[in-house]
Every structure is written in C-alpha cells, then in structure tokens.
Amino acid sequence: MQVDELRAEQNKASKAIGRAEGDEKQRLIDDVARVSAELKKVEPQLAEVEHTLATLLAATPNLPHESSPDGFTDDDAVEVRRHLEPTEFDFEPKDHEELGALLGMLDTERGARTSGSRFVYLLGDLVFVQFALMRHAMDILAGKGFVPAIPPVMVREEAMYGTGFLPADEAQLYTTTEDELYLVGTAEVPLAAFRMGEIVDEAELPLRYAGYSTCFRREAGTYGKDMGGMFRLHQFDKVEMFVFTTPEASWDEHEYLVSVEEEIVGNLEVPYRVVNVAAGDLGLLEHDRLPGPPAADAGAPGRWTGRGAAHAERHRDRDRPHVDRAAREPPAGRRLGRDAREAASVPARAGKSAAALGRLSISPRSEPRRPARATRHA
C-alpha cells in the first residue's frame, strides 16, 4: 500500500512539474526526488515480500473435494466400478518383457547400454502396435470434436509453474541448462500454456484438445517399483485430453472425459476398474480425480495390476501463480476462472503411464498392488 501511494504521488508531481513555474516548480522537483528516494528503500522490501508470498502460494495445493477418500496411497483408493475381469490361465503366462525379448520386439538391454536404465528399444511389429494404439485414441477423440495437437515438448519455467509441476515435481523434471527449458512429462503442460495470457470468450468454451507428445520423467524415488520392461520408463509417448471450460461446467466435463477414457480402453476389450484416488495421493493442482478422477487400472492375467491405464483430473482456480488465462462472458466481460480447466490423460505409448503397452500388457509378476490413480481404469 505504501509503495502504491508513493508511486501515485510521484506520478502526480511529475505531471505537475510541466505546468509549474518558479518556486512551485522547484518544490515539485524536490518532492519527486524525495519520493524517489523513499521508493528506492521500500521497493526492494516489497519485492522480497512478493517473492516469499509467490513461493508459498506455488507450494499450496488445492483442497481435495469432499468425495475424495481419506488416505495417502493407492491402497486407499476406492473402487467405483469395473469392466470385465482379468483372465485366468491354467499355466504361468510370460510377462510382456519376457515375451518381447523372445519375439525380438523389446530390447531393454541395449536400451540400458545406450541411455542407461529405464530406456528401451521397441522393434518390429511392436512399433506398429504402439502407433495403432495412439491412432485408436486419436481417432475416437477427433471424432468427438477434440482438436488434434502435437505441442512443443520443451517449455519455459512459467508453463511448469502454471500447471503445478514446479515446484512440486522438480525432482522428476529434465532440464536444458543453457536454454533454461524443461522437457515435459505430459502434453498437459504445453496444452495448458497454449492459451496463456489470453482472454477467451465464454461462447467459445469448452475448448477440447487431444495432444500427442513424447514425455520425459526422471522417476526419482521410484526405484524398485514396477521395474522392468516398459514400466516407469524415462521416455514414453502419450495421448492427452485437455479441456478449457468454466468452473460451473467442469463437473459435467470431467464425467464426459471419464466416459471417453472408458470407451478408449473398453474398445480394446481389456479388463479395467474405475477408482477414486485418495486425497493424499492427489497432485498439487488436482481438486479431485474421477468423482475424484477415476483411473483405469488395467488387469493382468488373474489379477489387477494397479497400474493406471488412464486418469482424469479436475483442476479448479487457485490463488497461486498460474498459467494466466481467463474466460470472458460475452456482454459484460466478466472474468471467470483463470485456471478453470478439465484435464485428462489417456496414455497410448510405450512406457511409463501407457494406456497402450506398458499398462495393458500381460505382466503377471508379483509386485505391490497399486490401485489406479485418481481417475484410473484398471
């Protein structure tokens, strides 16, 4: 408040100097010099306070919706519904890593030799399987009016802060130090930034996009979890649904995205469960997944894997640094939710969150049960 008052006083005196003469003019000049000196003292203090406030707000999460279950882990997620059941065999089936190696289609050894652990070569027909899965998702989404998009996979810091990946997930991000760019772990980031700094007429909403991108994640802190094959890779491809909408319409949009996810996964005749993710397992910006978001948890032979094949998130306004965008009501120009959006990802990639290979492949190995995340189908 003090800084604003001093700036206003400085501006007023500066304008008056041009019209003043004699002693009055010198008095105004002295006033401007005095105010300028005061501003030099208090402006750095204001900048420090603003920086501290911005840092605190950036780390402040959305409040979980009341429908989100209590808990912190996948085991606390609540099943909402399921489709089909995992196939039972009277023999021990091979998992996707073993089958891929036997068929010469999946080479983790050479991937590790080339790039380190959690990288893989896809070869032969498996490449076309991945392309087919991504095309399957994109065809359905394009048919429903989603605009297909291939966004940049390297973004500036403000895009990461705007989507909540900074500072919360900084340990998971790859960066290019010289250019100060971040490799994205999801197309959500560049799609959210697509309308950054713009005001959109409410009549244009909802704006629905289907983004395909290669994604990069360090997977820090996950050693020993879902290791091997195409699980938790550092590099993978994914199809992302992303929608800009108003807060009032966000629930309906959320349910619509969940229904589209179920159609994409269900068409593959893969068993899945829709689960509501626990409040403590939600991301920084997530208000909920499913009626929290449902997550598709893909079933492996004889059991549920707990690996999310798809998830949907609803992000509402937050008083924090964000990707600046607003909706304008046609006549009045009323500013609606600046961060009002509906986001969902349906991975169709070879790797970590894949709704295609990694998450829907046969993988009967023993591992900790991990219910689908926020809105996942299993």
The pLDDT averaged over each successive group of 10 residues in the chain (378 residues) is 77 80 81 82 85 79 80 84 86 89 93 93 94 95 97 94 82 88 94 89 92 89 64 90 89 89 89 84 55 42 53 51 47 34 31 30 27 36
What are the boundaries of each domain within the chain? 2-58, 74-377
pLDDT computed for residue 140 by the predictor? 96
Contact between 376 and 287 under an 8 Å Cβ cutoff? The reply is no
pLDDT computed for residue 293 by the predictor? 35
Contact between 339 and 346 under an 8 Å Cβ cutoff? The reply is no
Amino acid 198 reads E
CA distance 299 to 138: 23
CA distance 237 to 346: 11
Amino acid 44 reads P
Q: Does the model's pTM come out above 0.85?
A: no
Task: Number of helices (H) and strands (E) in the chain: give both, helices first.
Answer: 8, 17
pLDDT computed for residue 6 by the predictor? 78
φ/ψ region of 160 (left if φ > 0, alpha if ψ in -120 to 50, else beta) reads alpha
Q: What is the token pair recorded at 328?
A: 């304008």
Q: What is the token pair recorded at 32?
A: 């401007």
CA distance 65 to 92: 42
pLDDT computed for residue 292 by the predictor? 33
Could you tell me which of 292, 257, 267 has the C-alpha nearest to residue 277? 292
- For the domain spanning 74-377, the CATH number is 3.30.930.10
Q: What is the token pair recorded at 353?
A: 């969150």
In angstroms, what is the C-alpha Rg of the chain? 25
pLDDT computed for residue 134 by the predictor? 94
pLDDT computed for residue 164 by the predictor? 81
CA distance 321 to 158: 9
CA distance 183 to 166: 12
